[in-house]
Amino acid sequence: MGLLETISGPEDVASLLPEQLPQLAEEIRAFLIAEVSKTGGHLGPNLGVVELTIALHRVFESPRDAIVFDTGHQSYVHKLLTGRQDFSRLREAGGLTGYPSRAESPHDVVENSHASGSLSWADGISRAHELRGERDRHVVAVIGDGALTGGMAWEALNNIAGADRPVIMVVNDNERSYAPTIGGLATHLATLRTTREYEKLLDLGKRSLRRGGAPGRLAYETLHGMKKGIKDIVAPQGLFEDLGLKYVGPVDGHDVEAVEHALTRARSYGGPVIVHVITQKGRGYKPALDNLADHFHAVGVIDPETGEAQASSGSSWTSVFAEEMVAIGDARRDVVGVTAAMMIPVGLEPFARKHPDRVVDVGIAEQHAVASAAGMAFGGLHPVVAVYATFLNRAFDQLLLDVGLHRAGVTFVLDRAGVTGPDGPSHHGMWDMGLCRLVPGLRLAAPRDAETLREELREAVAVDDAPTVVRFSKGKVPAALPAIARVGSVDVLQGTRYEEGDDVLLVGVGSMLPRCLATAERLAAHGIGVTVVDPRWVVPVEEALVELARRHRVVAVVEDGGEVGGLGWALTRELDRTTDAPAVLGFALPQAYLDMGAREDILDAAGLSPQAVALRIVEAVAHHHGAGTPASA
């Protein structure tokens, strides 16, 4: 039996002898490589925090001492050390989540997958402890150097530094978020790392001097002469100490004994402390270390020996956007790409290779990205802000009052819109249509296939006096879905009686069109005439769509966003203004926090399967004709 199998909780970790810890770390890495390669997940970040997490559970008493992981994707090791070692269904329905989860364990505090919030949680928890007279309880926030680029982290840091509460902030410095960390903070942390190497060289010079000889003396005197200049210029720890924070480090994050010592020292202070730990993303796994792009930040199913991805066919929505963005950039010098530390995941890397001076990576700072884009538009550029749909939530104020209010020509490309699947409730991009509908003048498109993505992206960047949005889902692009006609801006995909009206107008939003066509087949089997349309632009409601709806007896809208503020919601209100309006059936996601699972299964569970949609439509048509309700569709 290996050591890992004997671990059922933090107390087992704390009872191990120091000489046993390297073996435990080795077993954890072997476990992660073997298991995550089967299911997919965040591999690189977890390989980098093995020793750090072991040390945390040896120094602090979880759950009495709260340990908050920023973003949370590096919590796999924490799960293993708190008794959760069945990774067979990781990020699948009924299995372990890819982030901390209170439903799984009392050791998990924040069910988070968005960055830069851990210090605010730590501040709040420590305030609660103080007011309850529990001064002996510590709060530990583990935050990466990438997450520290977010402004929210610095707002929290300002508050933590102004109080005398036992908050330990562990900066996991691996020089990366998804990709290398950028900006002033990255430069500052690099200075700290450089200073540590300088101190090593100085110590080497001292030892050489003790052994005698001119080379040793020369090396020592040269380095010592540099010391005052370096310290006077950079004073690296001063950034934190000037805020009133004690600073410990830098510490080798892969030396458990050194990390334990640093954390024990930090705990003894009884006040706010920064512990600067240097780690290596992807540690111990050659394929991850060789992948300079993101060190296997997140992987699908891979070969554990080589790290090669399981073969898959077809293009992704992201890759189609990436190709078209390069083509647009070649034709228009005013188009710039903007990303929040996600150059690779959102598909801007090819554009950056072709036009390196026209891509801006602001770090994990979506609010700043959007407000800065408004400034770029004012300066004569057309920014394309590419983010995951769920991350637009964080910058809604800037979208509304910096971009929208000033009618700035900014295009937002929302990747992973709708149901994303394995990343769970905080990653489902189901809120964007409802939020965007609140912004006056904003236009939002939802392409159904590769050709319409290219077409609608070009239409979006052609608008220079209002914000535009193009949203698409996660996964592979479906086969081409050609239109047989266009009415105004609405594409007709199926139906011969759309001009005079038929039984049913079936409106599909973006990636839901294949399900709508499958639904139409079921309805046709019941002798129901159906017109299937793609509105293309779903915010605001196009007048052509309203006119088409008026001609039909029943209108059904199928979409993968929240029902409140969705297209069905909005079309109903448009039709309510007229007399003899048709019945509108809305098929959308419930306004709820949907769990993780396979995308198709989640959509089916939400009542968006072709069978469920067809059944409700058949019932509505039967009601309209005054006939009985068929038993099935």
Domain-located, residue 35: yes
Same domain, 345 and 452: yes
The percent of the chain in helix, strand and coil, each rounded to the nearest 5, is 45, 15, 40
In eight-state DSSP terms, residue 147 is: G
> Are residues 608 and 558 in contact, defined by beta-carbon separation less than 8 angstroms?
yes
Q: What confidence score (pLDDT) does residue 178 get?
A: 47
Whether 467 and 496 map to the same domain: the answer is no
148 and 223, same domain (yes or no): yes
- Number of domain units in the chain: 3
Task: Tell me the C-alpha to C-alpha distance, in Å, between residue 443 and each of 245, 407, 491.
Answer: 46, 12, 17
**Do 35 and 65 fall within a single domain?**
yes
DSSP 400: I
Active-site pick, 281, 283, 358, 522: 281
347 lies in the same domain as 244: no
459 and 389 within one domain? yes
Task: Tell me: do 52 and 93 sit in the same domain.
Answer: yes
Give the pLDDT confidence score for residue 446 in this predicted structure.
Answer: 97
Please tell me the predicted confidence (pLDDT) of residue 628.
43
Task: Work out the angle at residue 172's Cα, subtended by the Cα atoms of residues 171 and 174, and round it to the nearest 5 degrees.
Answer: 130
Running along the chain, 633 residues long, what does each successive block of 10 average in pLDDT? 91 94 94 90 88 95 94 89 92 89 92 82 92 93 84 86 89 66 51 51 52 51 46 48 78 91 92 90 82 70 80 83 97 96 92 95 90 96 96 95 97 95 87 96 97 98 98 93 96 88 92 96 93 97 94 95 94 85 92 91 95 94 64 44
Which residue range(s) make up the domain with 197?
Answer: 4-290
Residue 357 makes CB contacts below 8 A (sequence gap 6+) with none
Do 330 and 412 lie in one domain? The reply is yes
Contact at 8 Å (CB) between 129 and 173? no
CB-CB contact of 358 with 382 (8 Å): no
Q: Is 589 helix (H, G, I), strand (E, B) or coil?
A: strand
Annotated binding site for Mg(2+): 145, 174
**In this structure, what CATH number is given to the domain that contains residue 259?**
3.40.50.970
pLDDT score for 211 = 55
Question: Would you say residue 486 lies in a domain?
Answer: no
Q: Is 353 one of the annotated active-site residues of the chain? A: no
75 inside domain: yes
Looking at the domain assignment, is residue 427 inside a domain? Answer: yes
Residue numbers in the known binding site are 73, 113-115, 145-147, 174, 285, 366
Radius of gyration over every alpha carbon of the chain, rounded to an integer in angstroms: 28
Residue 307, in any domain of the structure: no
CATH label of the domain that carries residue 504: 3.40.50.920
**Residue 620: inside a domain:** yes
Catalytic: which of 349, 366, 459, 559? Answer: 366
Residues 393 and 528 in one domain: no
Structural contact between residues 549 and 583, judged by C-beta atoms closer than 8 angstroms: no
- Annotated catalytic residue 137: no
Q: Is residue 630 part of a domain?
A: no
Among residues 103, 107, 143, which one has the least CA distance to residue 123?
A: 143
Which of 358, 394, 471, 474 is labelled catalytic? 394
Say whether 501 sits in a helix, a strand or coil: coil
What is the structure's pLDDT at 578?
73
Looking at the structure, do residues 400 and 266 belong to the same domain, yes or no? Answer: no
394 is catalytic: yes
Residues making up the binding site for thiamine diphosphate: 73, 113-115, 146-147, 174, 285, 366
